[in-house]
Amino acid sequence: MTEPPESPGPLQSVAAVDSLGADLRTAGYTTDGVSGLLGADADAAFARGVWWPALRATDRAARDREALAVLVRLFLLGADEPRARVETAFPTADVGALVTNGVLSTTAQGTFRAALDIRPHGDGERDFLVVSDLDSALCAGAVPHDHVLGIGGASVSLARAVVREPVARALDLGTGCGIQALHLDAHCADIVATDTNGRALALAAATARLNGMSWDLRCGSLFEPVAGERFDLIVSNPPFVVGAGAREYLYRDSGMVGDALCRNLIGQVGEHLEPGGTAHVMANWIVREGQDWRDRVSGWLAGTGLHAWVVQRELADPVSYVSLWTSDAGEPPEQAARRGGEWLDWFAAEDIAAIGMGMIALRAPQAGETRPPDHVLEEITAADEAVTGREVDAFFARREYLHHTTDEALLAARLSTAPVFLEEQSLPGPDGWQVVGAAVRRPGGPGAVLGVDEVSRALLAGCRGEVPLGTLIDLLAAHHGVDAGALATAALPVVREAIGRGILYEAD
C-alpha cells in the first residue's frame, strides 16, 4: 500500500470541522436555503454560470438571512468579506482557526475570502455538504498539481448510474472529495474510499464528518489499498484523461500512457467483486483512424469473466478534447497553447482520431453461474437517455432472463409491452405522405428503441399479458396468410431484442 502523504492537508482539526458544520447548518446553508435566498431567476442564472444576479440577491438579503448571504458570497461566489460580516456567519467557529485549517484566507486589505469550495448538494431526498478546492474560475492562474475537483458533470452522471440496492461493502476508487461515497452511505453498510492524492483524502474526511458519516479512507493507486479484499459494489471516477503519461494534475492524469489506467482498472476489478457484485466505471478510450471503438473496449473485457454494458456517451475529436481539459485546469492562454500543441502532436503520432467517453457497468457472475460473459457495447448520446441505476440493474436482469429462457418457453410466455411511443418517418409522395420507417421508443430508457415493420407493430400492440406469444403469432400468421412456424422464426429475434431493451417483459 502507498504510504500516506507527509502533508496533513486542510481541515485536520476535528473541532474546526464540527464548529464549521454547526454554523453552516444554523445559517440554513442547504440547497433549498441557497435557492430560496437567491430567488428562482438568480438561482437559475447561477446554475448557467451567470453570477451577478446572485451577488445582487445576496447584497439585498434581509438581516435574518445575513449569515447565509455571507456564506453564499464566500463559498459560491468568491467574494471578499470584512471580518465583522465573517464573524456574523461563523458565531461558533473561530475565524482564526478557519484560516489555520485552510477554510478561509486573508487578503492584503484585511478582508477574508474562501480558500475551499464548500457547497450544498442534494440527491432529491437528502442534503449534503461537499468540500473541495476552489474552481479554476476562482483561482489566479492554473490550479495546483494536487487540486481536488468538486461536483462536476462526470461525478453527477456516475452517481445517477449507480445501482442503489442495499449492500454490505462498497469501494469508491479514486474518491476525490468524496461525492460518490456520500451517495453510497445511504445503502452501503461499510465504505472504503481510496485516492492517490493526500489532499483529496483530507477533504473527503472533512466531507464525511460534516455529513455525520464515517468512511475507511486509504491512500494508494488502483486496487493496491484493498489487495485481497472483495466488495459488493465498486464505483470509480478515476483520472481517466488520455495523454502521453505526464502527471500534471492528479485529478485528471494517472501517469499512465493513453487509456492504460482504464484498461488496467477493468482488467482487475473482477478480482475484487463478490459473486453477483456490480461495478460502475467512468472511462475514456482511444479511437484510432478506421477502427471501431467497440473493438478496443471489448479487448479490455476479454478474460475478465464479467458481464458488461458499455455505453459511449460522447466521441470527442482531439482539439475539442484537449481544449476541454486545458480550460478545466485554468491554464493561461500561452501555457494552454504550448501544452495543447504538445498534446495534439502526441495524438497525431499515435494515430488517435478521437476519444470515446462513457460509462462501463460490470456484473460479476453469481456463485455457480455457468453462462458465458455477456457484453453489450452501444452508443447512446441523447440527453434524455441518461444511464440510471434502475436501468443498469434492469439491463442485467433482462440479459439473464434472455439467456435462461428458451424459444419454446418464450412462445408460451404471456408478454406485455411497456409504455412506448410509436414514431414514424414519412416522405411526401404522389399520394400524400408515405411512411418509410417506424420505431417504438420507451421514454427515458437508454437505447430503448426498436425499428418495427407492419407485423412487429401488430405483435407489440397485441402483447398485453393476456395470451401466450405463440398464440399471437398464430393469429398474425393466419391474418397475413403465412406459415406460423416461419413467422415465429422471424419474430423471435425481434422479440428478444425488444425484451433486451425493456420494451417487452413477461407479464407476471
The CATH number that applies at residue 178 is 3.40.50.150
Same domain, 261 and 353: yes
Position 6 scores a pLDDT of 44
Nearest to 357 by CA among 392, 311, 389, 320: 311
Q: Is residue 415 part of a domain?
A: yes
- 394 occurs within a structural domain: no
How do the pLDDT tens digits run along the chain, 508 residues long?
333 344 567 999 999 999 999 999 999 999 999 999 999 999 999 999 898 999 999 998 888 899 999 999 999 999 999 999 999 999 999 999 999 999 999 998 999 999 999 999 988 889 999 999 998 888 777 889 999 999 999 999 999 999 999 999 999 999 999 999 999 999 999 999 999 999 999 999 999 999 999 999 999 999 999 999 999 999 999 999 999 999 999 999 999 999 999 999 999 999 999 999 999 999 999 999 999 999 999 999 999 999 999 999 999 999 999 999 988 888 888 888 999 999 999 999 999 999 999 999 999 999 999 999 999 999 999 988 999 999 999 999 999 999 999 999 999 999 999 999 999 999 998 888 988 899 999 998 999 999 999 999 999 999 999 999 999 999 999 999 999 999 999 999 999 999 999 999 999 7
pLDDT of residue 2: 35
- Do 338 and 430 sit in the same domain of this protein? no
pLDDT digits (tens, 9 = 90+) for 147-194: 999 999 999 999 999 999 999 999 999 999 999 999 999 999 999 999
What is the predicted pLDDT for the residue at 3? 37
CA atoms within 13 A on the CB side of 84: 0
The runs of H, that is alpha helices, within 27-178 are: 31-38, 40-47, 52-59, 66-75, 83-89, 95-100, 153-161
Phi, psi of 142 (to 5 degrees): -70, 155
CA distance 9 to 359: 31
List the one residue out of 240, 367, 395 whose CA is nearest residue 307.
Answer: 395
Please tell me the distance from the alpha carbon of residue 192 to that of residue 416, in angstroms, as a whole number: 42
Question: What domain range is 289 assigned to?
Answer: 129-388
Same domain (yes/no): 364, 469: no
Of the candidates 368, 387, 365, the one whose C-alpha atom is nearest the C-alpha of residue 378 is: 387
Q: Are 80 and 74 in contact (CB under 8 A)?
A: no
Query: What pLDDT was estimated at residue 136?
Result: 83
The interaxial angle of helices 52-59 and 40-47, nearest 10 deg, is 140
C-alpha cell at 24: 453552516
- H/E stretch holding 427 reads strand 421-429
> Do 187 and 167 meet the contact criterion of CB atoms below 8 Å apart?
yes
Pairing, β 375-379 against β 307-316: parallel
d(CA 296, CA 262): 11
Report the C-alpha gap between 313 and 252 in whole angstroms. Answer: 19
SS3 of residue 192 by DSSP:
strand
Whether residues 237 and 383 share a domain: the answer is yes
Q: Are residues 96 and 171 in the same domain?
A: no
User: What span, in angstroms and rounded, lies between the C-alpha atoms of 143 and 231?
Assistant: 34
pLDDT at 8: 62
Q: Are residues 355 and 418 in the same domain?
A: no
| Domain final residue pick, 67, 87, 115 | 115
Q: Please tell me the predicted confidence (pLDDT) of residue 124.
A: 80
In a domain, 6, yes or no: no
| pTM recorded for the entire structure | 0.94
Element (H, E) at 167: strand 167-173
Total domains in the fold of the chain: 3
Could you tell me if 81 and 135 lie in one domain? no
Cα three-residue angle 161-128-165, rounded to 5 degrees:
35
End-of-domain residue from the set 332, 363, 388? 388
Q: Decide: helix, strand or coil at residue 228.
A: coil
- Looking at residue 376, its pLDDT comes to 97
CB-based burial of residue 429 (10 Å sphere; 0-12 exposed, 13-18 middle, 19+ buried)? exposed
Residue 68's identity, in one-letter code, is L
What's the pLDDT at 125?
84
246: which DSSP letter? -
Q: Give me the CATH number covering residue 462.
A: 3.30.390
Output the nine-digit C-alpha cell for 337: 497553447
Question: Are residues 328 and 285 part of one domain?
Answer: yes
Whether residue 202 sits in one domain with residue 327? yes
The single-letter code of the amino acid at 307 is H
The residues near 344 (Cβ < 8 Å, ≥ 6 apart) are: 318, 319, 322
Q: Are residues 268 and 380 in the same domain?
A: yes
- 3-class secondary structure, 456: helix
Which residues are CB-neighbours of 361 under 8 A, at least 6 positions away? 161, 278, 279, 280, 281, 308, 309, 310, 311, 387, 392, 395, 396
Say yes or no: 70 and 151 in one domain: no
Beta-carbon contacts of residue 487 (< 8 Å; ≥ 6 apart): 455, 473, 476, 477, 480
Is the residue at 40 inside a domain? yes
User: Is 78 inside a domain boundary?
Assistant: yes
Which of 82, 115, 148 is at the close of a domain? Answer: 115
Helix %, strand %, coil % of the chain (to 5) = 40, 25, 35
Task: For residue 273, give the H/E element and its range.
Answer: strand 273-288
Q: Are residues 349 and 411 located together in one domain of the fold?
A: no
- C-alpha radius of gyration, the chain, whole number: 27
CB 258 within 8 A of CB 288: no
